[in-house]
Structure 1
Amino acid sequence: MAKKGILVWLFSTLTFISLIHLTEAIYALAFNGQTRLLQLYPIINERLQAITPTIYFVATAIATFIFWGITCAVAFENPVEAFLNKILSDAKTQTAVEAQLLEEKSEILDIMNETIESNSQNLAQVKDIIYNVRTEVKELQPLKENVEKIRTELSSLKKEIKKIEEKVQFPSICPACGKPLLPEFKICPYCGEPIKVPSTPVITLKDYK
């Protein structure tokens, strides 16, 4: 406040002095009088007295209006309003910076959203592929079961063929140990039991008829 008071006092004094000179300039211009106030300046009084009344009037009028305007600007300056204006200016600047940051972040979010959408599409394609593979696996499951059945049947068939081969090669079986024997064996080579060859009934021609 002290600084403001000093400025108001200084510029109001300069305004008053300029107004006095303006009054003298009007008097000299209107009544063709002498300019006595310019003689008060000790060093440049001779140069100032050489100025014409018209230039004197214009210069003092401009100086008066300038000093009066500065005085009014300083006197009516409100520090609270200046402080609020500064706060508003800072707030606008901060808002602009935040808006720019928000725009940049929104661009980043848009890029992330596009990436997520692309990844979701790829994931959907992968899910479709997995579903198709599972479907094909389910379709192959009966084939696997059929193959297992065929293998089981082949194994049983091999066993039957093996039994048939054994029966063909060894038509007789030892009644004591159950081992297969050749038809020419009379005694079992495994247990030593005698083999009784069953007699084949002879069918006469009459009975056959």
Structure 2
Amino acid sequence: MTDDRNAIHDRLATLLGRTKRIVLGLVGAPGSGKSTLAADLAGHYGERAVVIPMDGFHLAECELRRLGRAGRKGAPDTFDASGFIALLARVRHQKDDIVYAPVFRREIEEPIANAIPVLLHHELVIVEGNYLLFDGPWQGVRPLLDESWFLATDETRRDAWLMERHMRFGRSREAAREWIDRTDAPNAARILATRDRADWICPVYEAQPFPDC
């Protein structure tokens, strides 16, 4: 295991030793590896962990069309930020046995409600998304996180991951390139400007097993 992976593991282990539940925010530009790290951490901690993706709060395609925003889906104002904050507040102060969170399905490009059960026994709640450190409608997110980690992945690697992802879900190479340049790149610039608000700049992450706890 690399020193970077040791740093990730050790920091999280320290956090988990502090309190009964940790709400950890993973932040980064599109294609930075947030979902990969979140899934690997959740897999490592098993039944102790759950992932809440911000993408589950995408506005539905029909609503984006009504608002005239479908052509820039993924921008900050194409999400239900208030609903996201309300869900995080319920999770942060959870008293119900189950709190349900939505998920975004790329194969249909729509959010699905009540797809992720957050249970009382979950000690680690991993929240991953682009806009966790933003102001404006998103400013209520940061107080609900115990810690935020920013994934500072280099631009070349992010671009390659984005291209692969867009093509995997049906876009041609030309359409993927156009979407990255028109939508993902401007969003990335705004997200990268929030980097200094994070509690920790997370080392570049490569998908490999974590050590046993």
- TM-score bracket, normalised by the shorter chain, equals under 0.3
The structure richer in helix per residue is 1
Decide which structure has greater strand share.
2
Higher RCO structure (Cα 8 Å, ≥6 apart): 2
User: Greater Rg, structure 1 or structure 2?
Assistant: 1
